Structure 1
Amino acid sequence: MKGVKDGDARRWVSTVWRRLKWPLLLAGVLLCVGAIVVAGMVPGLLNGPKSVPPPPAWQQGPSQLSDVNSVLPLGDDAPLPVPAELARLLNETLKPDGTGSITGVVMDASTGEVLFDREADANRIPASNMKLLTAVAALKAMGPESRFTTRVLASEDPSTVVLTGGGDVLLGAGASDSSAVMGRAGLGSLALDTAAALTSAGVKGPINVQVDDSLFSGAPLNPAWSPDDVAAGETAPLFSLALNSGRYSPSVTTGPRPQDSAVTTAQAFAGQLAAAGVQVSPGVERGKGIPTNVLASADSATVAEQVDLMLESSDNFLAEALGRMTAVASGGEATYDGATAAVRQRLGELGIATDSMQLADVSGLALENQVSAKQFAEVVRAITSGPDLALRTALDGFPVAGLTGTLDDRYVDAGTAEGAGLVRAKTGTLNTVIALSGYVVDADGRLLVFSFIGNGLQPGAAGNKVAMDRSASVLASCGCRG
């Protein structure tokens, strides 16, 4: 070191060494320990490279795309329940509480093999299980992504606008809500768009509001329905546009309903038009607009979304509206008879025998309906496993045991809890009728479809729903191999 004496240099080096020797020694120890650990973790690291076996097949990416063109059931190679063992278990649970009888069937979803059969071909009153037929017919006829459009048309009289129904009975009173099913199209938004169109055309008030509900024809009320059910609000006269699925409020799902949903909807639209700053004449009447002169329009939720809502909440009014729209899409008349004919037609196209069916409505309120448990199981199988993938969109609509829809307050006791969260099924309830049709993956991973229908039951007997739920829970927990 230039300018530094030898003694000073030696002292400087000694000082630096004293300060650095322990950190350097510690680093060396750590490097040695690290080398030993790595050598232990990776055998052969210090003895040269060795070949590493490839990962198992299930960890590797596919070498080519699958050529399967349909969605297959879960556990296609899982063992089937032994029919004799399944019958032994179900015969213990599938018993009426008092009078009446219960028919039923269990089928393997993949093969269609019948695993349990108790008068499965016998015609029965199915109650709201009818909505399963309506669901597949609507999806088959219109497609899952179709929407219904409500329009405001100009009339030959410039001071008149015509609210025109397009089959959407889930209109909301306020602004359109793109995240909703009920209320996807809102009268508030329609009114604002109409007001803007009138201003642009230089039309000033007062404006007359009319309504065109001619898309649906025939009687608004089905003569097969009990007047007591109508009075109780189970359904209402049907028109081609309605607020809140034919109710005064979306949050009130019982009690009286509007008896003319078309006029009620038009009155609400007139109120929204006035709130948008348009001078509106009092009163609403029926009329016709000019189809090519659209002032405003709003689209409904998709058919798939409406089908799911219908199944989950068992909405009779919505079911009948979807039935009428299925008739329109099938080239028939949008009447009650047209709806049942269209449902029968679409089921036939799916290969489901309909000759023995008797269809008086498409919601299940009519006691004249007659459908077998086997036919319902075949419909459920078409949804879960059939070749028409459009029907898969109905899967989300099935209520989940103990969690959603009409099954949210069931499967809560010890006898049925094994099915909670696993059983997915459409319910059906009338005075002397209880039905349950759906699907479940059993304990071995086999997808099963089932239908249980009780007729002539003692009204109000709590054990009948329990019998259905316990039987479905048997399927959920079943290995059933004897």
Structure 2
Amino acid sequence: MTKTIGTDQQHGRVRQAARRAVTGLRSSWPLVLLSALLVALALPAALLVAPGFLGPEAPAPAPSAPAWQQAPATLSARQGLAALDAAAEIPSQPAVTAQLDPLLKADGGGTFTGMVQDAWTGQVLFDRGGSEGRVPASNMKLLTAVAALRSLGPGHRFSTTVVAGPAPGQVVLVGGGDVLLGPGDSNPERALGHAGLATLAAATVEALTSDGASGELKVLVDDSLFSGPALNPAWDSGDVAAGEVAPLFPLALNSGRYDPAVTTGPRPQDSAIAAAEEFAARLRTAGAAAGLTVAAGVERSPAPARAAGGESEKPVVLAEVQSATVAEQVDVMLQDSDNYLAEALGRLTALADGLPGSNDGATAAVRAQLSAAGLATDAMKLVDVCGLAMGNQVPARQFSEVVRAITSGADTRLRAALDGFPVAGLTGTLDTRYGGGATAGGAGLVRAKTGTLNTVLALSGYVVDADGRLLVFSFIGNGLTPGAAGNKEALDRAATALAGCGCR
């Protein structure tokens, strides 16, 4: 009995505890609902503010780039021409002759002469009338390049200056031989326009205002550096009218052109005055803010600027700009076959050698420099230094020897001319040639100076043959049928054959 009563009591106490729990739960139910609501609201808020504490989410991995866009794991094999091989066998003369003779055939009238030599030894590998005097056209510029680099030096520059004039309020623009002046700001990255008239004008205004100058300025020009006729009487008037060349002055814009991009047609007939007028316009713009005005019109200085201020007194230099180097100008001359620039470099070479800055001085200086370089000149007749005159007579052998001196001679100053040789199918006057099936093999391999007149074609340059031997060559056609397409093709095929020659 005792046991039963005790058990019932225990059950009773359990039931009472359960009633109290239910009652407590009923009384706390609003608090549970409130807590659940707070949790539901807090979760989105936590998601919003969590990045501020945890930092940005890690970006998704980028898709893998294609293989050709990925950094290389190893260096590519070196490309380009193989190095010269000193042990390479020299081609045999009979084999080279057998290759070239069938190719150098005139299309219509006229004949080709030519010379090929091994550059290192001078050994003659092909000789067809190589000692005969020929009209070389623009191959003449190779002779001018050698003379300028020897006499002036590859790094020489020409100055265009502004000095105080002989009377108050006058300034004199003095030509120092730079015919590649640009109208705007100087551009040190280019040969054409390396020195700019806008830069020169701004520097002139700065110098004048620092000295307290004001009022009106008058621009004079001193172009007395060159002498003799501005136009060579040996040049054909039709070539001058066509814009192949223009009267020569020791300062000019765009190598004596109105627009550097337009290389044919009318050109300024007085490049010195044209440059002075452009300078005056730039000076007028630069001086406006400083209270300086510039009188209309320009005039030639009554006396060379070096005499201004008396015999013992040099003029006050107000401003100066310098040209591209001789080496850079030689590159332009050869790549573009620029007649005006060639004639200017010839006269500047003459002045450096103590000769007059004239056409006669230029031809004499070129001859003297070639002779001093150990090159034969007895068979040469030089009428100009750009090759426009039909009176020039130079054998193919002389051009072959000149190219040999440039590529491998003892005078390393001449190496500066190498960049100026047009590359077949790519640059300069050879950029549109070597595209046909018979000549495509020479594209990128033949490097040569062209020459073109009405009845004249020439090509002088160098190649590395299939065995790694450096060969120099010159081919000249005279009396050719004007416009006959096969003549350029003959020159290009011959040069291509040399590039592919393993002629033993």
Q: TM-score, normalised by structure 1?
A: 0.84
How far does residue 295 in structure 1 lie from its aligned partner after superposition?
Answer: 0.4
Q: Secondary structure at the match of 2:295?
A: strand
Q: Decide which of 347, 352, 359 is 1:336's aligned counterpart.
A: 359
Match of 1:295 in 2: 318
Q: Secondary structure at the match of 2:327?
A: helix
How far does residue 75 in structure 1 lie from its aligned partner after superposition?
Answer: 2.2
Match of 1:80 in 2: 90
Q: Decide which of 145, 151, 162 is 1:141's aligned counterpart.
A: 151
Letter in 1 for 2:134: R
Within the alignment, does 1:244 sit opposite 2:254 as a pair? Answer: yes
Could you list the per-position Cα deviations for residues 240-272 of structure 1 after superposition, in whole angstroms to 9, with x for gaps in the alignment?
A: 000000001112111100000000000000000
Q: Decide which of 108, 119, 122 is 1:109's aligned counterpart.
A: 119
Within the alignment, does 1:285 sit opposite 2:313 as a pair? Answer: no
- The whole-number CA distance in structure 2 between the counterparts of 1:292 and 1:177 is 27
Q: Secondary structure at the match of 1:99?
A: coil
For the Cα contact (< 8 Å) 1:76–1:110, is it kept in 2?
no
Please say which structure displays the higher CA radius of gyration. Answer: 2
> What residue ranges of structure 1 are gaps of 5+ in the alignment?
1-72
Letter in 2 for 1:160: Q
Match of 2:101 in 1: 91
Q: Decide which of 317, 331, 340 is 1:308's aligned counterpart.
A: 331
- The whole-number CA distance in structure 1 between the counterparts of 2:282 and 2:87 is 59
Match of 2:500 in 1: 477
Q: Decide which of 380, 387, 406 is 1:357's aligned counterpart.
A: 380
Q: Which stretches of structure 1, 4 residues or longer, exceed 4 Å deviation after superposition? A: none
For the Cα contact (< 8 Å) 1:424–1:438, is it kept in 2?
yes
Q: Decide which of 438, 459, 466 is 2:489's aligned counterpart.
A: 466
Q: Secondary structure at the match of 1:279?
A: strand
Alignment of 1:389-468 (within 5 A): 389-468=412-491
Within the alignment, does 1:100 sit opposite 2:110 as a pair? Answer: yes
Letter in 1 for 2:405: A
For the Cα contact (< 8 Å) 1:377–1:451, is it kept in 2?
yes
Within the alignment, does 1:273 sit opposite 2:288 as a pair? Answer: no
For the Cα contact (< 8 Å) 1:267–1:283, is it kept in 2?
yes
**Once superposed, what is the RMSD of the aligned Cα atoms?**
0.8
Letter in 2 for 1:436: L
Letter in 2 for 1:406: T
How far does residue 156 in structure 1 lie from its aligned partner after superposition?
Answer: 2.8
Could you list the per-position Cα deviations for residues 148-175 of structure 1 after superposition, in whole angstroms to 9, with x for gaps in the alignment?
A: 0000010131200000000000000000
- The whole-number CA distance in structure 1 between the counterparts of 2:199 and 2:168 is 21
Within the alignment, does 1:380 sit opposite 2:442 as a pair? Answer: no
Q: Secondary structure at the match of 2:414?
A: helix
Q: Decide which of 195, 201, 208 is 1:191's aligned counterpart.
A: 201
Letter in 1 for 2:194: R
For the Cα contact (< 8 Å) 1:175–1:186, is it kept in 2?
yes
Q: Secondary structure at the match of 1:97?
A: coil
Letter in 2 for 1:165: G
Could you list the per-position Cα deviations for residues 88-131 of structure 1 after superposition, in whole angstroms to 9, with x for gaps in the alignment?
A: 11011111101000000100000000000001000000000000
Q: Secondary structure at the match of 2:171?
A: strand
Could you list the per-position Cα deviations for residues 290-333 of structure 1 after superposition, in whole angstroms to 9, with x for gaps in the alignment?
A: 44410000000000000011000000000000000000111100
- The whole-number CA distance in structure 2 between the counterparts of 1:113 and 1:318 is 34
How far does residue 204 in structure 1 lie from its aligned partner after superposition?
Answer: 1.3
Match of 2:57 in 1: none
